[in-house]
Amino acid sequence: MNDEVARLEADERRLVFDHFGNDDAWELGSLLVRLARERGAAVTIGIRRGPQRLFHCALPGTSADNDAWIDRKSRVVERYAESSFLVGARFRAKDRTFEDSSRLDPDRYAAHGGAFPVRVRGTGVVGVVAVSGLPQAEDHALVVEGLERYLGAGVR
C-alpha cells in the first residue's frame, strides 16, 4: 500500500460522527463556506444524507459544472463508501485509472478528490459532504479540514 492510500484511509477511520442530522449538515456546511471565503476559494459545497440534499452553497465564481462534479464525486462515495479521492488513489496506486478500470460511466462517476463519506459510528455511511472548484487534492483537503474542525469542536 502506498503512503497516500494509507493516509487517506487513516483520515476516514478518524473522521467519524457520533450522530448526523440536519443541524450538523448546516453547521458543517457553514463552516466550510467560512473556510472557503477566508481563502477566496470559488467552490460549491454540498451535503447529503441519503438522497436528501441538506446543504448547498455555490460561492461566487462557480457554475452549474461544479454541481455536476459534486454529483459525480458523490456517486463514487455512495457506491464505494469511501472518499472519492481514496477511490481514485487506489486505482492510481495500481497504475490504472478509474475511468478505464471501474467500468462505470464517467459522465455519472468521478473518482476525483472532494467528496467524503459522512460516517456515523455504529451505523456506517449515511451521507456525503462534497466540495468542487479547486484542484482535486485541494477540494479533498478543504473537506478534511472542515471535518477535523467540526468534529474536533466536540459537536460530533
Mean pLDDT computed over 68-86? 97
Within a 13 Å sphere around the CA of 132, how many CA atoms are in the beta-carbon half?
Answer: 25
For the chain, counts of helices (H) and of strands (E): 6, 4
In this prediction, residue 1 carries a pLDDT of 60
Mean pLDDT computed over 81-105? 93
Mean pLDDT computed over 81-96? 95
Is it the case that residue 47 has pLDDT exceeding 90?
A: yes
| Sequence-separated (6 or more) residues with CB below 8 Å from residue 121 | 16, 17, 18
User: What pTM, to 2 d.p., does this model score?
Assistant: 0.94
Helix, strand, coil % in the chain, rounded to nearest 5: 50, 20, 30
- Rounded CA-CA distance 3/52 in Å is 34
Mean pLDDT computed over 137-155? 90
Q: Distance from CA of residue 14 to its chain's centroid?
A: 15
Mean pLDDT computed over 121-143? 97
In this prediction, residue 2 carries a pLDDT of 85
- Rounded CA-CA distance 29/12 in Å is 18
In this prediction, residue 100 carries a pLDDT of 87
Dump pLDDT digits (tens) for 18-35: 999 999 999 999 999 999
Where does 40-83 have alpha helices with state H?
Answer: 64-80
The yes or no reply on domain 3-152 and CATH 3.30.450.150 is yes
Measured over the CA atoms of residue 49, residue 51, residue 53 and residue 59, the dihedral's sign is positive
